[in-house]
């Protein structure tokens, strides 16, 4: 049995992280856009969840081409979100309540409106020229690079002023920063110190795996085409050198946490980022489960909810960290659909129970859970029918690209109802009133009409609500360190409805059983596992007799077991 006394304990391993997308959390001034004062108004709610850390999506100055992921000033606050005084008050308010604040660090690219880029594009000998990646046009068209958000799919944009192309893995308004340049790196480290000196508790590092580019921008091997290029973007030759330098110069000086957004990271290379002996980052999160059944331009196929594949991915990722490093667990965030729609069932009949089941999953796996705002009340996808309703440049660009190629735009709309990013970006549903208590103005994006039924006010005091279930689960994870540090062992890997696993620490064994389907689901446990009690249940009872157990649709249980082996 694994022993707690042998574990390298850390606050960020025991923490539950709650993610706030500020644009959609709470508007305080009636402009239809969530803001920092809105979050301040909701601090007691956030505290009531029992979570330890808030990850706040970018609040820096930005022209908002990509909702704040295009930063024009790293040391100021976006006007729509408030002022630096508001930010300081938010940080103090969180700390007063014992909540830590993790900010987004977006340094693979800046906005094209950042002073550095304004300078860089002026002349080939400008002192800021090498803060970005340029390809002189006299060398011909640069080798192919794929862009997430470019209108024509290419990550090179021609710029007339200096007759050269600049690189942008994301939109044209998000030029990639050149980490080869030590001056750029020094600026970034300095900016990180600025925020740590204010007292923030860590960074979630946006697409940090892409910061090192292949020198000379060579043609990539044939197998890296289109979206696949992500995998090679994440293998830049100097990535780890940069992160070790960042650790030495900045991170090691503070008691903070770091988590990489790790697109392109695989089970066979992630330890390079998070093996503690290498002194880079604490954690990383991968996209492997999100990619199941989702292809180019996010067109979904039949594998989309393939539970066997999902279990395999989650288990393989757990195994990587069994001895070293530390895992992260998430099912949704601002870049993915609502978890209950994506992984379970948002039909009114099942939505509440299914979302509690997923909450059980997130809070019983090994690894730090990242929980997305609104999931605690079981918010579901809005499923826009019309392209006009979308605000996200990703869906908009892929729609127009598909249209210009004469492709199937209806298929794209159908798929984006399931996986489009805007599904997670509709405002937080506080009450059943007009605009769900989010704003007194016109919301920047439509509000899910189901806020009439699905909202915080309705769930606040109802003991069996999704919201109170989440609070119970957070409390349970705090109380049972087996759920944090215990070993993980998958049962019934090939079962198509049931996700079941054991967590073991010291003398305790917990059995978690989750029915991911809308049918009853029966299994026979090994003779050696004897259920002695039920710690948590999203239904009112559990049908079990000897080694036979039958779960109701979307039922989730955590059982104490005697292991007689």
| Contact residue for ligand NOJ among 65, 206, 280, 376 (CB under 6 A) | 206
| Contact residue for ligand NOJ among 51, 91, 107, 207 (CB under 6 A) | 207
Residues numbered 492-531 forming contacts with ligand NOJ, rule: CB under 6 A? none
Nearer residue to ligand NOJ within complex by CB, 52 or 66:
66
Token readout for 175 is: 């030029």
Dihedrals phi, psi of 363, to nearest 5 degrees? -95, 10
Which residue minimizes CB distance to ligand NOJ?
69
| Contact residue for ligand NOJ among 55, 60, 69, 330 (CB under 6 A) | 69
Measured between alpha carbons, how far is 436 from 458 in angstroms, rounded to an integer?
12
Number of helices followed by number of strands (H, E) in the chain: 17, 21
Nearest distance from C-beta of residue 496 to ligand NOJ, angstroms: 32
Nearer residue to ligand NOJ within complex by CB, 19 or 162:
19
Nearest to 529 by CA among 491, 492, 495, 564: 564
Can residue 330 be called a binding residue for ligand NOJ (CB under 6 A)? no
The residue count for binding ligand NOJ (CB under 6 A) is 9
Active site residue 261: yes
| Contact residue for ligand NOJ among 52, 65, 80, 335 (CB under 6 A) | 335
Beta-strand relationship, 100-105 and 60-61: unpaired
**For residue 18, with 0-12 CB atoms within 10 Å meaning exposed, 13-18 middle and 19 or more buried, which class applies?**
buried
Cβ contact 116:131 at 8 Å: yes
Nearer residue to ligand NOJ within complex by CB, 172 or 466:
172
Which residues make beta-bridge pairs with 551? 521
Going along 255-366, which residue ranges are E strands?
257-261, 283-285, 328-329
Can residue 66 be called a binding residue for ligand NOJ (CB under 6 A)? yes
Nearest distance from C-beta of residue 108 to ligand NOJ, angstroms: 7
Token readout for 78 is: 């976006």
Please identify which of the residues 66, 261, 335, 422 carries the catalytic annotation. Answer: 261
Nearest distance from C-beta of residue 324 to ligand NOJ, angstroms: 26
Instruction: Provide the CA 58 distance to its chain's centre, in angstroms.
Output: 13
Active site residue 508: no
Nearest distance from C-beta of residue 66 to ligand NOJ, angstroms: 5
Nearer residue to ligand NOJ within complex by CB, 360 or 423:
423
Mapped onto helix, strand or coil, the DSSP state of residue 496 is: coil
Beta-strand relationship, 498-505 and 508-515: antiparallel
Nearer residue to ligand NOJ within complex by CB, 170 or 298:
170
Contacts of 521 (CB under 8 A, 6+ apart): 495, 497, 498, 515, 550, 551, 553, 555
Nearer residue to ligand NOJ within complex by CB, 204 or 480:
204
Nearest distance from C-beta of residue 400 to ligand NOJ, angstroms: 17
Nearer residue to ligand NOJ within complex by CB, 201 or 261:
261
Nearer residue to ligand NOJ within complex by CB, 263 or 553:
263
What x-and-dash track marks residues 236-275 binding ligand NOJ by CB under 6 A?
Answer: -------------------------x--------------
Nearest distance from C-beta of residue 109 to ligand NOJ, angstroms: 7
CA separation (Å) from 32 to 25, 89, 177, 299? 11, 22, 32, 31
Please identify which of the residues 70, 86, 172, 206 carries the catalytic annotation. Answer: 206
Can residue 146 be called a binding residue for ligand NOJ (CB under 6 A)? no
Can residue 112 be called a binding residue for ligand NOJ (CB under 6 A)? no
How large is the angle between the packed helices 182-198 and 239-249, nearest 10 degrees? 40
Residues numbered 375-434 forming contacts with ligand NOJ, rule: CB under 6 A? none
Nearest distance from C-beta of residue 69 to ligand NOJ, angstroms: 3
Nearest distance from C-beta of residue 205 to ligand NOJ, angstroms: 10
Nearest distance from C-beta of residue 450 to ligand NOJ, angstroms: 24
Nearer residue to ligand NOJ within complex by CB, 62 or 435:
62
Nearest distance from C-beta of residue 403 to ligand NOJ, angstroms: 22
Contacts of 56 (CB under 8 A, 6+ apart): 19, 20, 22, 39, 101, 102, 103, 104
Measured between alpha carbons, how far is 365 from 502 in angstroms, rounded to an integer?
10
Give the H/E segment covering residue 498.
Answer: strand 498-505
Neighbours of 210 (CB within 10 A): 23
Check residue 104 and report its DSSP letter. E
Can residue 106 be called a binding residue for ligand NOJ (CB under 6 A)? yes
Nearer residue to ligand NOJ within complex by CB, 331 or 456:
331
Cβ contact 218:158 at 8 Å: no
Strands of 548-551's sheet in order across: 521-524, 548-551, 543-545
Nearest to 453 by CA among 377, 389, 384: 377
What x-and-dash track marks residues 152-191 binding ligand NOJ by CB under 6 A?
Answer: ------------------x---------------------
Residue 491, phi-psi category: left (phi > 0), alpha (psi -120 to 50), beta (remainder) = beta
Cβ contact 156:145 at 8 Å: yes
Dihedrals phi, psi of 246, to nearest 5 degrees? -60, -40
Cβ contact 389:381 at 8 Å: no
What x-and-dash track marks residues 18-57 binding ligand NOJ by CB under 6 A?
Answer: ----------------------------------------
User: Catalytic site residues?
Assistant: 206, 261
Residues that bind ligand NOJ (CB under 6 A): 66, 69, 106, 170, 206-207, 261, 334-335
């Amino acid at each position: 049995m694994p022993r707690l006394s042998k574990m390298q304990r850390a606050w960020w391993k025991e923490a539950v992280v709650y993610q706030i997308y500020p644009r959609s959390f709470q508007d305080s001034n009636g402009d239809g856009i969530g803001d920092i004062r809105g979050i301040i108004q909701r601090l007691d709610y956030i505290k009531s969840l029992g979570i330890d850390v808030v990850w706040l999506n970018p609040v820096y100055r930005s022209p908002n081409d990509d909702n704040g992921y295009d930063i024009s000033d790293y040391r100021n606050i976006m006007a729509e979100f408030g002022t630096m005084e508001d930010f300081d008050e938010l940080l103090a308010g969180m700390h007063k309540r014992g909540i830590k604040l993790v900010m987004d660090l977006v340094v693979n690219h800046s906005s094209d409106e950042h002073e550095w880029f304004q300078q860089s594009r002026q002349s080939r000998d400008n002192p800021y020229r090498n803060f970005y990646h340029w390809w002189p046009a006299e060398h011909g068209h640069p080798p192919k690079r794929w862009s997430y958000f470019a209108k024509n799919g290419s990550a090179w944009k021609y710029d007339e002023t200096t007759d050269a192309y600049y690189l942008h893995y994301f939109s044209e308004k998000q030029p990639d920063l050149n980490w080869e340049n030590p001056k750029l790196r020094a600026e970034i480290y300095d900016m990180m110190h600025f925020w740590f000196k204010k007292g923030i508790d860590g960074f979630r590092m946006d697409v940090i795996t892409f910061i090192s580019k292949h020198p000379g921008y060579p043609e990539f091997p044939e197998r890296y085409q289109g979206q696949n290029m992500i995998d090679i973007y994440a293998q830049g030759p100097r990535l780890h050198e940069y992160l070790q330098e960042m650790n030495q110069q900045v991170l090691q000086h503070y008691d903070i946490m770091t988590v990489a957004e790790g697109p392109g990271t695989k089970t066979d290379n992630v330890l390079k980022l998070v093996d503690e002996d290498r002194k880079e980052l604490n954690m990383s999160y991968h996209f492997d489960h999100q990619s199941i059944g989702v292809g180019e331009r996010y067109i979904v196929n039949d594998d989309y909810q393939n539970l066997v594949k999902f279990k395999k991915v989650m288990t393989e990722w757990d195994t990587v960290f069994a001895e070293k490093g530390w895992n992260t667990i998430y099912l949704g965030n601002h870049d993915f659909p609502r978890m209950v729609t994506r992984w379970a069932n948002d039909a009114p009949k099942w939505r509440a129970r299914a979302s509690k089941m997923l909450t059980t999953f997130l809070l019983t796996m090994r690894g730090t859970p990242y929980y997305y705002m609104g999931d605690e009340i079981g918010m579901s996808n809005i499923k826009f029918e019309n392209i006009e309703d979308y605000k996200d440049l990703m869906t908009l660009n892929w729609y127009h690209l598909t249209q210009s190629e004469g492709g199937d735009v209806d298929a794209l709309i159908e798929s984006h109802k399931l996986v489009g990013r805007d599904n997670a970006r509709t405002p937080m549903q506080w009450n059943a009133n007009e605009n769900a208590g989010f704003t007194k103005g016109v919301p920047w994006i439509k509000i899910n009409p189901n806020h009439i039924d699905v909202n915080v006010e309705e769930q606040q005091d109802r003991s069996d609500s999704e919201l109170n279930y989440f609070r119970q689960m957070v409390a349970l994870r705090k109380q049972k360190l087996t759920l944090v540090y215990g070993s993980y062992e998958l049962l019934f890997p090939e079962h198509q409805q049931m996700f079941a696993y054991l967590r073991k620490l010291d003398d305790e064994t917990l059995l978690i059983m989750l029915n991911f389907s809308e049918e009853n689901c029966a299994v026979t446990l090994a003779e050696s596992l004897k259920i002695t009690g039920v710690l948590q249940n999203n239904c009112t009872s559990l049908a079990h007799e000897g080694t036979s157990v039958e779960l109701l649709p979307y039922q989730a249980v955590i059982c104490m077991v005697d292991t007689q082996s």
